[in-house]
Amino acid sequence: MTKSIVIVGGGPAGYVSAIRASQLGAKVTLIEKGPTLGGTCLNVGCVPSKALLMFSHYKHLLDHEFAKVGIDAQLKNFDFSRMQKEKSRIVETLTQGIAYLLKKNKIRHIQGEARFIAQKKLEVNEEVVEADYIILATGSQPISLPFFPIDEKRVLSSTGALALKEVPKHLLIIGAGVIGLEMGSVYRALGSKVTFIEFFSRIVPSFDTDVSQTMIEIMKERGIVFHLQTKVVKGSTSQDGVELICEGPDGQFTLDGDYVLQSIGRKPTTQGLSPEIGGIRLDSKGYIETGLDLQTNVSGVYAIGDVAVGPMLAHKASHEGIALVENLLQKSTHYNLFEVPNVIYTHPEVAHVGMTEEDLKKHNLPFKMGKFPLKANARGLVEGDLKGFVKVLVCQSTKRLMGATVVSMHASEMLPMFQLAISKKMTIDEIKHLMIAHPTLSEALVEAVLNAEGESLHF
């Protein structure tokens, strides 16, 4: 019998599971409150941020790199509004593409906000909606400092920072995590002075310590300023600027800028959905609680993506959705949280999969480490990736790859080799004879594996 599925949220979790469920023969309804599909990722997240990272890098190359090889180009004109327009054109193309995909897959799309009116019963635009299965994919939103709320005028979240009409003279960034580093890179490349205030003792603390050290060096060389182990205790705005009072290891100090970006993490979105009326339990941080099967405490109601526990990443959201509907519709599937890659799209990029050195030490798991610097790789030298590296962590007893980090131009495109090795539980003996084309950055992947064996060829 045909199963019916209602999905709330049209981001990467919701729209991808809708397409997959429809392919598997389910009758699917997708409810999205926003005017366009694609959720945070396509509208105000992954896509626009990567567009600005790419475009701003052109300016960085022109201003700082071309002259090194004798190309003394002069910037004739820089029109930020055209950069923003091109970013919006790409976003529009992709969000419209999803509307087309929903139609093609015969998915009913309702534009409106869904809310529970009873257990397993939703209402949207005064229509009551019920189904065999309900999937909640309502995503996440920025966290704001409680004493200094985001207004998207001077006090920005990533959404406001992506939509600025002018390049800030001095951008203050609270939180040196992934959003901070990506947006800081964009505006530094476009000419802003950029200053970070980070609570922790190192930047991007969710990544390997080597990543933090390398990235802070690279960012400092570009003129970005960091205040670590520092918190903002007060913030105020004026017509044309912001002032922060900060407390660091050397006491209190004041920072002035024209904008401040708050990038201190994101929280699950459930307001408007009335989960309490649906009997849905949230955890202490506001995530919808699920079991390993992604089912909430209410039978037949599931949660996926940013609103469910786990890394807040688009591919995690989509793959969770695919695995869920494949399970529900009796199709074999594969999903393993351990295999979720994590990328920072700065220049160079940082890409990681599996465990970090800190994770392995914390769990007392004996390991061997292999590392290869990109300055010893021919293509790395050509690309100017002199601080980048590849690092692999190998289980001492099984010789299986446990984790890998790549800091390099195109690191996100190099990582899948290690993802496959981890997913297929490959030993490093199975990787080390892989013949990689020369000269490529990927040669450094195999060299790092060889290094773990004490068999480095080029280092």
The residues binding ligand FAD (CB under 6 A) are 8-14, 31-34, 39-41, 45-46, 49-50, 113-114, 137-140, 158, 179, 269, 272-273, 305-306, 312-315, 317, 345
Contacts of 251 (CB under 8 A, 6+ apart): none
Count, residues near ligand NAI per rule CB under 6 A: 25
Q: Which residue is nearest to ligand NAI (CB)?
A: 177
Per DSSP, the three-state class of 323 is: helix
The residue range among 169-177, 281-289, 363-371, 383-391 that interacts with ligand NAI, by the rule CB under 6 A, is: 169-177
> Half-sphere exposure (CA, 13 Å, Cβ side) for 274?
14
Q: Is 323 one of the binding residues for ligand NAI (CB under 6 A)?
A: no
* 255 is an interface residue for ligand NAI by CB under 6 A: no
Q: Which residues are tagged catalytic?
A: 438
302's CB contacts (< 8 A; 6+ apart) are 133, 134, 135, 136, 290, 294, 295, 296, 324, 328
Q: Which of 269, 311, 305 is nearest to 290 (CA)?
A: 305
Select 266 or 371, whichever has its Cβ closest to ligand NAI.
266
Nearer of residues 348 and 373 to ligand NAI, judged by Cβ: 348
- Locate 129 and state its tokens: 């909606």
Pick from 150, 192, 176, 149: which is nearest to 52 by CA?
A: 192
- Whether a cis peptide bond, with omega within 30° of 0, leads into 439 is yes
Q: Is 315 in the site for ligand NAI (CB under 6 A)?
A: no
Instruction: Select from ligand FAD, ligand NAI, none the partner in contact with residue 174, using the beta carbon and a kind-dependent cut-off of 5 to 8 Å.
Output: ligand NAI
Q: Using the rule CB under 6 A, is 178 a contact of ligand NAI?
A: yes
Site for ligand NAI in 182-201 (CB under 6 A): 182, 197-200
Residue 429 Cβ, how far from ligand NAI at the closest point, in Å? Answer: 32
Q: In the complex, what is the shortest distance from the CB of residue 232 to ligand NAI, in angstroms, rounded to a whole number?
A: 6
CA-to-CA distance for 108 and 53, rounded, in angstroms? Answer: 35
Structural contact between residues 115 and 273, judged by C-beta atoms closer than 8 angstroms: yes
CA distance linking residue 122 with residue 441, whole number of Å: 51
Query: To the nearest whole angstrom, how small is the minimum distance from the Cβ of residue 193 to ligand FAD?
Result: 21
Q: How far is 241 from 252, CA to CA, in rounded Å? A: 20
What does 452 bind: ligand FAD, ligand NAI, none (CB cut-off 5 to 8 Å by kind)? none
Give residues in contact with ligand NAI (CB under 6 A): 174-180, 182, 197-200, 205, 231-232, 263-266, 311-313, 343-345
